[in-house]
Amino acid sequence: MLVMHSVSVGTLLGNFIIVTGSFLTLMILIRIFAWSKITGIFDDRAKQISDDLAKAEEARVKAEGYVSEQEQVLKDSRLEASQIIGQANARAAHDKEAILTQAKEEAQSIKDKAREDAEAIKVEAVESAKEEIAALAIDLAERILVHKLNETERETLVDRYLDRLGEN
């Protein structure tokens, strides 16, 4: 068994040396021929990840700027809407006052016209009454001149005259 053991240790040691040598040779060949490509792939990947992170950060900053810009636009829009409503209310109040003033002026004009018309009718009625009174006076005078009236006839004539005045 001893012999087997020594052969096996020797074989084992030989195998170890061959495997180690192969491994070292493989590592040297990888270092010479493939190491730059492997590290280049890792570097490219790291650069791509870094660029993606930078783009993501830039997009986040841009989105935050856009959000704040939209908030400002919304705030400005609300302010402008408030101003427009205020102006519309002021314009409506002004228009209301103008309409009320115009209505009052028209009502006063109608009153003045009615007053003038009533005054004209009154003047016309007075003129008409004067004409009738004058006509009656002339008629009475003609009758008095045509007849010499006695006291009774005169009273009767004056009473009739006064009755005719009351009828008109």
Structural domain boundaries in the chain? 2-167
149 Ramachandran zone, left/alpha/beta (phi>0; psi -120 to 50)? beta
pLDDT of residue 1: 42
Cβ–Cβ under 8 Å, residues 168 and 129? yes
Q: Provide the 10 A C-beta neighbour count for residue 10.
A: 10
The encoded tokens of residue 26 equal: 């493989």
For residues 146 and 144, what is the distance between their CA atoms, to the nearest angstrom? 6
The encoded tokens of residue 73 equal: 């636009």
pLDDT of residue 166: 64
pLDDT tens for the chain, 168 residues long, are 444 455 587 788 889 999 999 999 999 998 898 888 888 898 999 999 999 999 999 999 999 999 999 999 999 999 999 999 999 999 999 988 999 999 999 999 999 999 998 988 988 887 787 777 767 776 777 666 666 666 777 777 777 777 776 665
Tell me the residue type at 53.
L
For residues 148 and 143, what is the distance between their CA atoms, to the nearest angstrom? 9
pLDDT of residue 122: 86
Instruction: Tell me the pTM.
Output: 0.40
**3-state secondary structure (DSSP) of residue 23:** helix
The encoded tokens of residue 2 equal: 């001893």
**Cα dihedral sign for 40, 43, 49, 55?**
negative
pLDDT of residue 7: 56
Cβ–Cβ under 8 Å, residues 118 and 112? no
**Cα dihedral sign for 87, 93, 99, 102?**
negative
